[in-house]
Structure 1
Amino acid sequence: MSRLMRGGDAGAREPLLTGGHLEEEESLEDEGEIIFERRASTNMKQSADLGPDRRLTYEEAVEETGFGLFHWLLLLVCGWANASDAVEILCVSFLLPTARCDLHLSSSDMGLLTASIFLGMMIGGYLWGYLADQRGRRKVLVVSLAINGLFGGLASLAPWFWLFLLLRFISGIGVGGSVPVIFSYFSEFMPRLRRGAMISCLATFWMGGNIVAAGLAWLVIPKTWTHFSLGFVDFQSWRLFVVLCSIPSLSSALIIKLFMPESPKFLMEAGREREALHVFHLMFKVNVWRKGKVFPEFGLLTSSKKSRESGEATSFSSQGEYVAILKKALLPIKNIYSGQLRSRSVILMIVFYCTSFGYYGLWMWFPELFKRMEEGGSPCSNRSLSFQLTHNQSCYPVKTAVYMEGFLIAVSNLPGNIFTILVMDSTGGKALLSGSLVVSSLSVFLIYMVQTKVQSLVLSCVFSCVNVITWNSVDVLGTELYPTQLRSSALGFFTGVGRVAAITGNIVFGKLVDTNCAVPILLVSFLLLSAGLVALLLPQTKQTELT
């Protein structure tokens, strides 16, 4: 993949990807991020430097590059990054049934552990989202994914609960950046008429990450051959599972660093026409690989944002006013709650909070609830509540059925993802979001009502199938409701709100699962229903143009 294109038109500049950079004899001012190899080409020089009479908007330029191989390769790269976030987030839920023995955890401790990564995501979400809007999507993705994988892997060596908690928190800071930025980055390469379906395809990789995490847990955690001593830590199978879960994030960071360009939409908004043209040229050449087509000449209608921000930065530096810099960092939040964006921002904040509380509050506890159901009955039956968390007595030997059930719930995402891909562009995100939230609410309510393990498993699979439609719809709506200069910041802010909800949900489950199990489950059902009704107030964005 180090050479996506070679050959083709003799009279066109030949772009290629080498060592993470697009090479060119003339240096560009993009801090070395996007540099192209230069070939003899008067046509490309005119389009990049002189600017022909025909000047296109972003949407028109994307249409000129066509749709093809480049977009599918981008889907695989961004999809793997999205899957890596799912693996890192959900791996904690799968290690709880055994790690609680080695780390001597109570139910409250487990609630704190599952909440720790979301606390990191809450902090990282807005921080990285803001930096992505200011400095570029690609660089932020690489750094955040690397932090995620590195500290997630180091957590496997933590001998004490407090250290494990701290490392998972730092890993969460990395996850908080990559989740919102991936969707902004990906959407800004997509033509308008295919954007909804392609973003839905990207969201589908979350299911893939879920399946990877569940499958690894099923294959690795019950095994006893992984047990050995490192002196300062007793390396059980769940620790190997944590190491394996860090690999997707690290590999995603490496792939994006080595092979992917910056977002052309971001470059245009930053006033960097030449670099944006080079990215469009790359997209075109990869899409028409071996077809011998010539890149059409055009210029771009770019923004003067870069020069304005440069002046502001100089002013801040000369004045030495940290308060002014802080105000600038918080300005996107003010903007998304101003003018016509205010009402949709309030609605999305409610939707993100309720959905995240319900999904992460319940999903992170599924393996533990199913372990309790091994005792018989429903998750909230009296027999389940008498389950005692004693050291080693109940954790070993590990019961494989718990992880098999988690795997089945993860796989049940598939029908919901397929459905979303097929109908998103024709139906729109608003209707799918509201309808899926209402059905999710009903399925959670029925989980509380049923009395057998099989019934609980079936309804949990229904919840998994339908709730993934909710998240796919939120991903599409979030990218289409905000302009480029606010998109990553807005998604980062709302995912931060969702992390607050996830933290709250996991703490509530940890505090009440042993004493008042019905309260958190019924609360999840109520919040999902509320979010479904509020979502009806959002504007319709079906096949809208990105601004």
Structure 2
Amino acid sequence: MESVEVLNAPTVSRADRLDRLPFTKRHTRLLFGSGVGWALDALDVGLISFVIAQLSITWSTDASALSWVASAGFAGMAIGAALGGLLADRLGRRNVFALTLLIYGIATGLSALSWSVGVLLVLRFIVGLGLGAELPVASTLVSEFAPRRIRGRVVVILEAFWAVGWIGAAVLGYLVIPTSENGWRWALLIGAAPAVWAVLVRLRLPESVRFLEGAGRHDEAETIVREFETEAGVASPPAEGGAGTHAGAAPAALRSRLAGLFAPELRRRTLAVWLVWAAVNFAYYGAFIWLPSILVAAGFPLVRSFEYTLIITLAQLPGYAASAYLVEKWGRRLTLAVFLLGSAGSAVLFGFGAVSGSVAQIIAAGMLLSFFNLGAWGALYAVTPEIYPTALRGTGAGWAASVGRIASIAAPLSVPPLLALGGAPVLFLVFGVVFVIAAVGAFLLPELKGAALS
């Protein structure tokens, strides 16, 4: 590998040494290792929308009962996100990441054996526990290794793996689920792949250097930093000393960690990011979990609705690509707000398109909604870990995600009554208003483009 000039001095901290490195193959392996787990998460969440659409026919179950299946998963995600963030600050990012993948991968496989809505509901809750804990932990780990100048872009690229997984869910929904009455079972069995991936993740990913330093494990932290420097062709400075205090010597109480999120210097950003997370979760999951079922209700055959959903889902990838570019060009806050406002307009167009029955309008508006909505998700995941110091980063990201998941519990439950009230136009008008509220919250967040993680 081509050599680069020495960037470090003995007095430079390990965090600064990581921040100043070029992006290397070791960064790529970390991003890919975390991203595949992220994609498998999306595969699992996306599959449930197609499963619900088929079960409403094969089990002759009404929409309100099936809405609880989706909400049970989100209830588990709310609890999992809060606990996962706390455990990540206590036990390490990598360990929690691997454990949560294992939990929800096994539970997804068991979901394929469900014989009733009640059993499926319980297993989806367990799936949610693992899934909810994994996402904020993965984004925290990646953000703590990414070079400062491209940190936002790297985290958006990580979030883009969500689109890969959701497209995979749409492909399974289109090719596997309609093949037989048990097609949904085979699809869920495929979704159990994270249980195998978890073992590889545990063995290959490095632990966060910032976490190791906070835990007093300086030798391990130094080894990891030097491995990244060697990969980049950057000379390492003399080994740093420092005993530090092990995080386990005096573990902070849960109450103290949560109180830390509302310290005077963090209170406003915590409330703002919670508002954005809640609004985005409500509108996104309300729309996309029910998308195949809404198209079936609009008069399209099951297979055709799955086909349209697959096409609409493909627009998520360019949305992430645009967001990855703009978070370092415009900054996190403006990018997030613009994509949320674009989501609002697209939602309204889609709602009226579903009533008109115009396939062109449904697909065009749906693709715009995918583009803007998932671009907003990328910017949100980029900004969330940045606004908290290392000791609270996992907790802050986890609780923001947890608050969002609480909103996502209500989202699937709200769809049937809103559809009964005024059909798709009223439903998607509500989602549009919620996206606008999220955009207001985005403008209350600090702009940290190019800033070092505290």
What TM-score bracket applies, with the shorter chain setting the length?
Answer: over 0.9
Match for 1:421: what amino acid?
Answer: A
Given that 2:86 and 2:394 are in contact with CA atoms closer than 8 Å, whether structure 1 keeps it comes out as yes
In the alignment, which residue of structure 2 is the partner of 1:373? 298
- The reply on whether 1:522 has 2:429 as its aligned counterpart is yes
Q: Distance in 2 between matches of 1:302 and 1:403?
A: 58
Given that 1:56 and 1:299 are in contact with CA atoms closer than 8 Å, whether structure 2 keeps it comes out as no
Q: Distance in 2 between matches of 1:347 and 1:496?
A: 14
The answer for unaligned runs of 5 or more in structure 1 is: 6-51, 228-235, 314-324, 376-397
Matches within 5 A, 1:454-469: 454=359, 455-469=361-375
2:201 to 243, 256, 262: 256
Length, aligned pairs only: 444
**Taking structure 1 as reference, are residues 401 and 484 closer, same or farther at Cα in structure 2, changes over 3 Å only?**
same
Q: Distance in 1 between matches of 2:108 and 2:320?
A: 27
**Taking structure 1 as reference, are residues 427 and 99 closer, same or farther at Cα in structure 2, changes over 3 Å only?**
same
Given that 2:333 and 2:445 are in contact with CA atoms closer than 8 Å, whether structure 1 keeps it comes out as yes
In the alignment, which residue of structure 2 is the partner of 1:452? 357
Q: Distance in 1 between matches of 2:20 and 2:263?
A: 34
In the alignment, which residue of structure 2 is the partner of 1:345? 270
Deviation at 1:126, TM superposition (A): 0.7
Given that 2:66 and 2:117 are in contact with CA atoms closer than 8 Å, whether structure 1 keeps it comes out as no
Q: Deviations over 1:185-235 (max 9, x none)?
A: 1111111112111111111111111111111111111224xx6xxxxxxxx
1:171 to 127, 148, 155: 127
- The reply on whether 1:92 has 2:38 as its aligned counterpart is no
In the alignment, which residue of structure 2 is the partner of 1:192? 148
Given that 1:66 and 1:284 are in contact with CA atoms closer than 8 Å, whether structure 2 keeps it comes out as no
Matches within 5 A, 1:238-257: 238-247=184-193, 249-257=194-202
In the alignment, which residue of structure 2 is the partner of 1:487? 393
Q: Distance in 2 between matches of 1:154 and 1:474?
A: 32
1:442 to 345, 348, 351: 345
In the alignment, which residue of structure 1 is the partner of 2:328? 425
Match for 1:442: what amino acid?
Answer: G
The TM-score, its normalising length taken from structure 1, stands at 0.77
- The reply on whether 1:182 has 2:89 as its aligned counterpart is no
Please identify the structure whose Cα radius of gyration is greater. 1
Q: Distance in 1 between matches of 2:241 and 2:303?
A: 58
Deviation at 1:56, TM superposition (A): 2.6
Q: Distance in 2 between matches of 1:302 and 1:430?
A: 37
Give 4+ residue runs of structure 1 displaced > 4 Å after superposition: 63-66, 300-303
Q: Distance in 2 between matches of 1:537 and 1:63?
A: 26
Deviation at 1:103, TM superposition (A): 3.6
Q: Deviations over 1:48-81 (max 9, x none)?
A: xxxx992431332215654311011111111101
Q: Distance in 2 between matches of 1:53 and 1:92?
A: 52
Q: 1:472 aligns to what SS in structure 2?
A: helix
Deviation at 1:523, TM superposition (A): 1.6
In the alignment, which residue of structure 2 is the partner of 1:279? 224
Q: What percent of counterpart residues are identical? A: 28
Match for 2:427: what amino acid?
Answer: P
Given that 1:87 and 1:245 are in contact with CA atoms closer than 8 Å, whether structure 2 keeps it comes out as yes
Q: 2:263 aligns to what SS in structure 1?
A: coil
Given that 1:56 and 1:300 are in contact with CA atoms closer than 8 Å, whether structure 2 keeps it comes out as no
- The reply on whether 1:79 has 2:35 as its aligned counterpart is yes
Q: Deviations over 1:7-34 (max 9, x none)?
A: xxxxxxxxxxxxxxxxxxxxxxxxxxxx
- The reply on whether 1:296 has 2:236 as its aligned counterpart is yes
Given that 2:9 and 2:237 are in contact with CA atoms closer than 8 Å, whether structure 1 keeps it comes out as no
**Taking structure 1 as reference, are residues 53 and 354 closer, same or farther at Cα in structure 2, changes over 3 Å only?**
closer
1:500 to 406, 412, 423: 406
Root mean square deviation of aligned Cα? 2.1
Q: Distance in 2 between matches of 1:449 and 1:270?
A: 54
**Taking structure 1 as reference, are residues 432 and 303 closer, same or farther at Cα in structure 2, changes over 3 Å only?**
farther
Match for 2:17: what amino acid?
Answer: A
In the alignment, which residue of structure 2 is the partner of 1:25? none
Match for 1:452: what amino acid?
Answer: G
In the alignment, which residue of structure 2 is the partner of 1:108? 64
In the alignment, which residue of structure 1 is the partner of 2:91? 135
Deviation at 1:522, TM superposition (A): 2.0
Deviation at 1:302, TM superposition (A): 6.3
Q: Distance in 2 between matches of 1:444 and 1:514?
A: 18
Q: Distance in 2 between matches of 1:303 and 1:215?
A: 52
Matches within 5 A, 1:306-385: 306=246, 309-310=248-249, 312=250, 328-375=253-300
Q: Distance in 2 between matches of 1:525 and 1:112?
A: 23
Q: 1:211 aligns to what SS in structure 2?
A: helix
The answer for unaligned runs of 5 or more in structure 2 is: 2-7
Match for 1:447: what amino acid?
Answer: F
Write 1 or 2 for the structure with the bigger share of helix: 2
Q: Deviations over 1:358-378 (max 9, x none)?
A: 011111010101112235xxx
Q: Distance in 2 between matches of 1:67 and 1:441?
A: 35
Q: Deviations over 1:319-345 (max 9, x none)?
A: xxxxxx8xx113222111111110111
Deviation at 1:533, TM superposition (A): 2.0
Deviates more, 1:353-362 or 1:63-72: 63-72
Q: Deviations over 1:135-169 (max 9, x none)?
A: 10111011101001000110000111101110011
